Amino acid sequence: MHKIFLICKREYLSRVKKRSFLLMTLLSPLLIALFYGMIFYFSINKNITEEKKTILVCDESGRFENKLENSKLVHFQYKQLKPAAFEKTLNESGIEGILWVRDSASNLSYELIAKEQVGIGLTNTIENKLEKIIKNEALAAKGINETTLDEINNLSVNINTQIKTKIGFEKSNSDASSILGFLGAFLIYFFIFLYGVQIMKGVIEEKTNRIVEVIISSVKPFQLMMGKIIGIALVGITQFAIWIILIMVFSGSVTSIIQNQMQLNSAALQGIEGAGQGAQNMNLDILQGFSQFNIPLLLLYFLFYFIGGYLFYGALFAAIGSAVDSETDTQQFMMPITLPLIFSIVFAQHIINDPNSSLSIWLSMIPFSSPIIMMVRLPFGIPPEQIALSMICLVIGFMSTVWFAGKIYRIGILTYGKKPSYKEIFKWLFRKN
């Protein structure tokens, strides 16, 4: 045990002292906070990224004359032109395009003739404005005015979900549960890949440099493998803990900036048929939903599945690293290991839609998928017996995986100059010496 501790200490200190580790640990939360802050900021300030366009309307029918509403992004002018004059008008004037409403015998047709390729946002905006006028005319013909229609369209239904618990019924929030569950699942997926590959690369590097031959003379192969796995796991936990603290600090600053900006734009947001108010109410419901979770308990669950999933897959990555001589040789062995991880994160969307289905329950019990699938399900409130069974299966799973990986590691770490096949690795598992 002392030797495993020494190897853990070496693996841990050799990584946390690197300048790249310090830079990425400190800068990543800031970059993440700024990245999502910028996305949200530009999503509510589209006028920053989109320039105002002037569209000349050439309406042969006269049906839309002076009826298209101008906005901050689109301004309409009206003029009757012949098609032969379109090119000259585009070249000489400051307009971006010509909306040609053709009045044929059967119906109207619409063409947008522009100087250059226009964005889908501009096209959709013009289409919506044309459709609004046509619908209003059709409603007026049937004796329905626009005010009455708006009142009908603004009617909505909001279902408050409550779930049965041991102490009665408690309010739940599916949106908040989905966000929290997928976030936890993605973090586990990300860290298993990131630090699992680090284990594999570290083993290959020591094997290639023949350093491992010196180390093996002092410790057993299993002790070396466990020391590397646990040491790198501690690096991941350290980085994760620092990220949580820094993200909370940086996110608080970014959130305050965004809130100030939203207050400045609240009038504009509310003016778009109530969409701004609806979005604000939805965000408020989600934030209130987060406050209903037992966050310390979820963090404990996350820590367990993070460590369990990491040990399960980390041992397999170590086994791959010991069996090959270079990173290029790892491809044939990586696919069977990474497929369950990729499948789990892709299937997480279906788990969110039905967290209590039979397939969801089975996937949360299988050690290959349970670290990710279970994190998706936990915020939805699942029976304690399912959580306990999943944990037991994961513990048995990573103990078995570590044992099998140790058998491969013991032989593969000192095997050079040959690309092992699946058949040969299978024989290593049952070799006695």
CB of 233 within 8 A of CB of 311? Answer: yes
Token pair listed for 300: 């404990």
CA distances from 99 to 61, 75, 380 (A): 13, 12, 51
pLDDT per residue as tens digits for the range 239-292:
878 877 776 666 555 555 555 555 555 444 444 444 444 444 444 455 555 556
For the chain, list the domains and their CATH numbers. Answer: 21-43+178-429 (no CATH), 51-148 (3.40.190.10)
What per-residue confidence (pLDDT) applies to 20? Answer: 77
What per-residue confidence (pLDDT) applies to 388? Answer: 92
State the CB neighbour count (10 A cutoff) for residue 401.
Answer: 19
For residue 360, how far is the Cα from the chain centroid?
A: 20
Q: Give the position of tokens 């040789």.
A: 329
CA distance 92 to 394: 71
What per-residue confidence (pLDDT) applies to 392? Answer: 93
CA distance 384 to 128: 51
Q: Where are the alpha helices (H) located in 98-163, listed in sequence order?
A: 120-141, 146-153
Token pair listed for 338: 């990474």
Among candidate residues 215, 219, 199, 218, the one with its CA nearest the CA of residue 318: 199
What per-residue confidence (pLDDT) applies to 393? Answer: 92
What per-residue confidence (pLDDT) applies to 412? Answer: 74
CA distance 188 to 367: 13
Taking phi over 0 as left and psi of -120 to 50 as alpha, with beta for the rest, 50 belongs to beta
pLDDT per residue as tens digits for the range 156-213:
776 666 666 566 555 656 667 777 778 888 888 888 888 888 888 877 777 777 776 6
Among candidate residues 116, 427, 157, 173, the one with its CA nearest the CA of residue 291: 173
% of the chain at pLDDT higher than 90: 2
What per-residue confidence (pLDDT) applies to 279? Answer: 44
End-to-end CA distance of the chain: 22
Taking 50 as the pLDDT cut, the residues of the chain under it are 266-284
CA distances from 188 to 152, 181, 306, 347, 352 (A): 46, 11, 6, 15, 17
CB of 91 within 8 A of CB of 70? Answer: no
